[in-house]
Chains A and B, each alone.
Chain A
Amino acid sequence: MTTENLLIEIGTEELPPKSLRTLAEAFAANIKTELTALELENTDVTWYASPRRLGIKVANLVARQADKIVEKRGPAVKAAFDTDGNATKAAQGWARGCGIDVADAERYETEKGAWLLHKAKVAGKGVDALLPDAISKALAKLPISKPMRWGNSKIQFIRPVHTVTVMFGSNLIQGNILGKDIKNELQGHRFHHPERVSISHADEVESVLKSAYVIADYEERKALVRGQIESVAAKNNAVVAMDEALLEEVTSLVEWPVTLVATFEASFLDVPSEALIYTMKDDQKYFPLLDQDGNLLNKFLFVSNIESKNPEQVIKGNEKVVRPRLADAQFFFETDKKYTLESRLESLDTVLFQKQLGTLKDKSIRISELAAFIATKLGADETKAARAGLLSKTDLMTEMVMEFTDVQGVMGMHYARFDGEDELVAVAQNEQYMPRFSGDNLPSNEISQAVALADKFDSLVGIFGIGQAPKGDKDPFALRRAAIGALRIMVEKELELDILEIVAKSQELFTDKLTNENVAQDVFDFMLGRFRAWYQDQNIAVDVIQAVLARRPSYPVDFDRRVKAVSHFRSLDSAEALAAANKRVGNILAKNDLVIANKIDETLLSEDAEKALAETVLSFKAKFEQLGQGSYTNKLTQLADIRETVDTFFDNVMVMSDDEAVKLNRLALLNQLRNLFLDIADISVLQ
């Protein structure tokens, strides 16, 4: 079968840069699905993309579907002929439908009888007939968040479409997609090559586009941008803190990247670098330059989309844009420094946190007290925690944070230092918001940790306390993130803190504001639920999590130790048998709703197997009492050795003895056995 490489390109107006990769990948996946459904063999489907095009390349695509034999069953032979052996109407109708005579029909024999059969030979269709429809379907299924219309047309797409190109080797496929006739023409670079370029073979796409000033291959372009940035930075004796998301965005904004360097007045460097960097990156897509020690320089890189006749003019223009923005930042910084953070506390009384829960000043006072409470539990300086908590929201009232909301926290830190606050208090201003996103760093010291936890628990308890728990995708106070953040801090920083205790303290700080009487339980349940999601993300088996959840440990660090112990136990040979035994014991105890003694009466033990089990159980009990709380992995590993004794017991001993006293004593023994495990987790739920 002949094969050719296939090229598909949709030429558009400028596509949204942040979703360009996602769209191109989805396009490739959809094309693959369509080709598979059509049984059109090929060796690879790849994509390329630029601001004005989405492209697909299919390697070694077969020219047509294989011919197929399709079996069509007709009426049963009994019903196909009358007593004289003439074909019935049913048989004739079926044969006509197949385009044959009844006499030519084959037979399909089974044990239950025979049927008429026609083996139709269906000729495979060529790609030229199949592709336009397949491509249209693949495009219709793209994940377009806001499809648009343009001009007079009813067609919807991401942005208006100008060209559609489908080349099978050197053959142009005929058809109409997204309202455009397929042509062997591609859009060139908007300014360097405003005319369209024609293409005569699918394999030429990259060279043809390059001649029209378009680097079509996304990864190639990204590597080119990265290389340019690094080399221009090096030439300026500087480094770039590479921001991968920004690099992707810039790659999606240019077809012919040219990296240029620009400068701004060094006097702006007096402003905290975070604010300057934010202005350059987020507003203008610039890459700030740093010196070898990581200090911000008064230089930045930007990636232009043209080879300008006068790059100096493009640089001057960009410098002119950034100057007033940096001047704004500088003005805000100078203005803000006229007031201490402490003096701003009063103004927080004009900002609502939540209608029923009061203002941000109210919240600050609660955070302050709760942070002090947590610090005491951690053996840290409660005065510093209280101070850091009290100031924690004051930077929201500064001009700088009002203008650039993303620098909240970090500006608080700079202003606190300027005010002469303790260094730990200053650092906590920034670290209170950690972790800001999944995988972000955690607060580095106990003061920051106390404030970060206090802020998160205050939101959780407050919002649950007025019955506004998150529902579906409605989580306006980002409580899910707050809960995960709090759990991560307590677990990964190994803080011996009790959720229930912190919640109770927080509840108390809200005085009479909370209306939900079950708030403590609701917050605890919610956090346990987050635990489940968090561990699942770490590929911990669901049954392990359930085994621990059954115990509802309220110290997250303790929860984590149990999860690790059960995970390890689950990998041992005896785990399955012991899980089954635990389940069996659990069932027996549940069925016999009796008062079971706390002690085993050794005089009632008669059989060897039960004596052996009792001895083992009692010795473990003594051993575990000595070990005390914790040491879960150690305990469970030891318990794994109990398996044979348990199995022998069940093989030889009849628990439900006719002698009531013996029966009760055996149940007491099993209860003790089960408690050895239950002390750590409910092993019976392991699969």
Chain B
Amino acid sequence: MQNITQKHNTKTFQGLILALQEYWAEQGCVIAQPLDMQVGAGTFHPFTFLKSIGPEPMASAYVQPCRRPTDGRYGDNPNRLQHYYQFQVVIKPSPENIQQLYLDSLAVIGIDTLTDEVRFVEDNWESPTLGAWGLGWELWLNGMEISQFTYFQQVGGLECSPVTGEITYGLERLAMYIQGVDSIYDLIWTDGPLGTVTYGEIFHQNEVEQSTYNFEHADVPALFTEFDHCESESKKLIEANLPLPAYEQVMKASHAFNLLDARHAISVTERQRYILRVRALSKACAESYYAAREALGFPLCKDNSVTKKGA
């Protein structure tokens, strides 16, 4: 652990990511790469949503870029972005010492818990579109929320057994604290032989343009059509027992919904109906994925002690 801290400059954004990756790699996680699709949170990545279903063990860690169109502020707000990064860790079954593993990761990135106050504050998580909920906490560092910590109880409407432990780091928030800056755009991304690069230099223009697109240009009729198309496509793929491509259609539908939301194209009453439509799709994917793994004999259960569905 000492070694990791010395090797990476966690006072840069990329150093922070490298240190976290290396730490969780040492704990046995698969260091996966970000999903190549537009999603609102790291939880959507199939490595979390689908792999937390069923009895097979898994452990992954990855950075996930997240898109939240309604949070865009045209690059004007120092704390809000429509595109930002999460660092996601998922381990099933959740290890006995998972809280300590998390705290040790903070030590690796330079946080001394006898100087800075870290606190587990009750925060139970629920995702209506994913048919998922869990119990856990948000992590406060001197009063600021820096991570979410959840024991999944249900995903896609299915009971989680064994339970997946999920840790989500808000990378920009954490980096702002470590670097002592008040604006996301002032974060140092890297400070190498070729000079210093800031977060703002890389992403400010993107925030301005994407906010403009999300709020002003996104084609509303086309997005409604896309939502309907993704829905029917997903249903068709479920019929064909292809849960993985079916689930990609769910993520696309969900992003289309988020863009429509940013365009204020969905009324309050309609909103609930759209959420339920996405939820129905996620549940179908979850069940189909479970059935597919079951048909394969849950090959990742190394001791072959296959747990029954919902048991």
| 7 cross-chain pairs, A with B, having the tightest CB-CB distances, nearest first | A317-B142, A14-B120, A318-B143, A321-B143, A151-B93, A152-B93, A321-B144
| Chain A 147-159 interface 0/1 with B at a Cβ cutoff of 8 Å (1 = within) | 0111110100001
Q: Which of A288-296, A302-310, A656-664 contacts B (4 or more CB under 8 A)?
A: A302-310
Inter-chain contacts of A148 with B (CB < 8 A) = 134-135, 151, 153, 163
B163 contacts A159, CB within 8 Å?
no
- What's the least CB distance linking A389 to chain B, in Å? 25
Inter-chain contacts of B115 with A (CB < 8 A) = 308-310, 313-314
Q: Pick the residue among B99, B141, B153, B268 that contacts A317 (CB under 8 A).
A: B141
CA–CA, A253 to B163, complex, Å? Answer: 26
- What's the least CB distance linking B121 to chain A, in Å? 7
Q: Pick the residue among B118, B119, B162, B182 that contacts A151 (CB under 8 A).
A: B162
Q: Pick the residue among B93, B117, B153, B165 that contacts A308 (CB under 8 A).
A: B117
CA–CA, A320 to B142, complex, Å? Answer: 9
CA–CA, A349 to B109, complex, Å? Answer: 52
A131-154 with Cβ < 8 A to chain B = 146, 148-152, 154
A150 contacts B94, CB within 8 Å?
yes
- B177 close to A (CB within 8 Å): yes
Inter-chain contacts of B93 with A (CB < 8 A) = 150-152
Q: Pick the residue among B116, B142, B163 that contacts A150 (CB under 8 A).
A: B163
A58-86 with Cβ < 8 A to chain B = none
Inter-chain contacts of B160 with A (CB < 8 A) = 149
- What's the least CB distance linking A323 to chain B, in Å? 9
- A536 close to B (CB within 8 Å): no
B122 contacts A152, CB within 8 Å?
no
- What's the least CB distance linking A1 to chain B, in Å? 41
> Could you write out 8 A-B pairs with CB less than 8 Å apart?
A148-B163, A151-B94, A152-B93, A317-B116, A317-B143, A318-B142, A320-B144, A322-B143
- A17 close to B (CB within 8 Å): yes
CA–CA, A316 to B115, complex, Å? Answer: 12
CA–CA, A314 to B121, complex, Å? Answer: 17
CA–CA, A105 to B112, complex, Å? Answer: 76
Inter-chain contacts of B96 with A (CB < 8 A) = 151, 160, 162
Inter-chain contacts of A309 with B (CB < 8 A) = 112, 114-115
- A13 close to B (CB within 8 Å): yes
Inter-chain contacts of A13 with B (CB < 8 A) = 99, 120
CA–CA, A295 to B271, complex, Å? Answer: 43
B120-176 with Cβ < 8 A to chain A = 120-122, 124, 134-135, 137, 141-144, 151, 153, 160-163, 165
A1-58 with Cβ < 8 A to chain B = 13-14, 16-18, 51
- What's the least CB distance linking A445 to chain B, in Å? 36
- B6 close to A (CB within 8 Å): no
| Chain A 339-378 interface 0/1 with B at a Cβ cutoff of 8 Å (1 = within) | 0000000000000100000000000000000000000000
- What's the least CB distance linking B50 to chain A, in Å? 20
Residues on A lying within 8 angstroms of B by beta carbon are 13-14, 16-18, 51, 146, 148-152, 154, 159-160, 162, 191-192, 253, 284, 302, 304-306, 308-310, 313-314, 316-318, 320-322, 324, 352
Q: A191-B113, A253-B119, A305-B117 are in contact. Are A151 and B163 (CB under 8 A)?
A: yes
Inter-chain contacts of B165 with A (CB < 8 A) = 150
Q: Which residue of chain A lies nearest to B268 when distances are taken between CB atoms in the complex?
A: A352
- B297 close to A (CB within 8 Å): no
Q: Pick the residue among A14, A149, A305 that contacts B153 (CB under 8 A).
A: A149
CA–CA, A324 to B268, complex, Å? Answer: 28
- What's the least CB distance linking A213 to chain B, in Å? 11
Q: Pick the residue among A162, A192, A317 that contacts B114 (CB under 8 A).
A: A192
B161 contacts A304, CB within 8 Å?
no
Inter-chain contacts of A17 with B (CB < 8 A) = 122
- B95 close to A (CB within 8 Å): yes
Q: A14-B137, A318-B142, A321-B142 are in contact. Are A149 and B163 (CB under 8 A)?
A: yes
| Chain B 83-127 interface 0/1 with A at a Cβ cutoff of 8 Å (1 = within) | 000000000011110010000000000001111111111101000
Q: Which residue of chain A lies nearest to B124 when distances are taken between CB atoms in the complex?
A: A146
B142 contacts A314, CB within 8 Å?
yes
Q: Which residue of chain B lies nearest to A13 when distances are taken between CB atoms in the complex?
A: B99
Q: Which residue of chain B lies nearest to A284 when distances are taken between CB atoms in the complex?
A: B143
Q: Pick the residue among B121, B135, B144, B268 that contacts A159 (CB under 8 A).
A: B135
- B27 close to A (CB within 8 Å): no
- What's the least CB distance linking A148 to chain B, in Å? 5
Interface centre among A148, A151, A322 (most CB of B within 10 A): A151
- B205 close to A (CB within 8 Å): no
Q: Pick the residue among B116, B124, B163, B182 that contacts A313 (CB under 8 A).
A: B116
- What's the least CB distance linking A611 to chain B, in Å? 75
- B79 close to A (CB within 8 Å): yes
Inter-chain contacts of B112 with A (CB < 8 A) = 309
Q: Which residue of chain A lies nearest to B135 when distances are taken between CB atoms in the complex?
A: A148
Q: Which residue of chain B lies nearest to A194 when distances are taken between CB atoms in the complex?
A: B100
A317 contacts B177, CB within 8 Å?
yes
- What's the least CB distance linking A161 to chain B, in Å? 10
- What's the least CB distance linking B53 to chain A, in Å? 15
Q: A146-B124, A146-B135, A321-B143 are in contact. Are A304 and B153 (CB under 8 A)?
A: no
B151 contacts A317, CB within 8 Å?
no
Inter-chain contacts of B135 with A (CB < 8 A) = 146, 148, 159
B122 contacts A160, CB within 8 Å?
no
Inter-chain contacts of A16 with B (CB < 8 A) = 122
Q: Which residue of chain A lies nearest to B307 when distances are taken between CB atoms in the complex?
A: A152
Q: A306-B117, A309-B112, A324-B79 are in contact. Are A151 and B95 (CB under 8 A)?
A: yes
CA–CA, A627 to B119, complex, Å? Answer: 69
A317 contacts B144, CB within 8 Å?
yes
CA–CA, A149 to B153, complex, Å? Answer: 7
Q: Pick the residue among A149, A191, A313, A352 that contacts B142 (CB under 8 A).
A: A313
A305 contacts B142, CB within 8 Å?
no
Q: A13-B99, A17-B122, A159-B135 are in contact. Are A314 and B162 (CB under 8 A)?
A: no
| Chain B 271-302 interface 0/1 with A at a Cβ cutoff of 8 Å (1 = within) | 00000000000000000000000000000000
- What's the least CB distance linking B175 to chain A, in Å? 14
New A-B pairs, 6, CB < 8 Å, besides A149-B151, A305-B119? A14-B120, A150-B94, A151-B94, A151-B162, A191-B114, A318-B142
Q: Which residue of chain B lies nearest to A355 when distances are taken between CB atoms in the complex?
A: B269
Q: Which residue of chain A lies nearest to B80 when distances are taken between CB atoms in the complex?
A: A324
- What's the least CB distance linking A271 to chain B, in Å? 19
- What's the least CB distance linking B81 to chain A, in Å? 14
Q: A14-B137, A149-B153, A151-B94 are in contact. Are A314 and B116 (CB under 8 A)?
A: yes
B122 contacts A14, CB within 8 Å?
yes
Inter-chain contacts of A51 with B (CB < 8 A) = 120
B153 contacts A306, CB within 8 Å?
no
Q: Which residue of chain B lies nearest to A318 when distances are taken between CB atoms in the complex?
A: B143
Inter-chain contacts of A146 with B (CB < 8 A) = 124, 135
CA–CA, A15 to B310, complex, Å? Answer: 26
CA–CA, A151 to B153, complex, Å? Answer: 11
Q: Which residue of chain B lies nearest to A258 when distances are taken between CB atoms in the complex?
A: B117
CA–CA, A253 to B138, complex, Å? Answer: 13
- What's the least CB distance linking A163 to chain B, in Å? 12
Q: Which residue of chain A lies nearest to B162 when distances are taken between CB atoms in the complex?
A: A152
Q: A148-B151, A160-B151, A320-B144 are in contact. Are A306 and B162 (CB under 8 A)?
A: no
Inter-chain contacts of A159 with B (CB < 8 A) = 135
A306 contacts B124, CB within 8 Å?
no
CA–CA, A171 to B277, complex, Å? Answer: 59
CA–CA, A322 to B144, complex, Å? Answer: 9
CA–CA, A338 to B129, complex, Å? Answer: 38
Inter-chain contacts of B122 with A (CB < 8 A) = 14, 16-18
CA–CA, A462 to B163, complex, Å? Answer: 47
CA–CA, A314 to B111, complex, Å? Answer: 12
- What's the least CB distance linking A49 to chain B, in Å? 15
Q: Which residue of chain B lies nearest to A154 when distances are taken between CB atoms in the complex?
A: B161
Inter-chain contacts of B144 with A (CB < 8 A) = 317, 320-321
CA–CA, A572 to B295, complex, Å? Answer: 81
Inter-chain contacts of A150 with B (CB < 8 A) = 93-94, 151, 163, 165
- What's the least CB distance linking B266 to chain A, in Å? 14
- What's the least CB distance linking A22 to chain B, in Å? 14
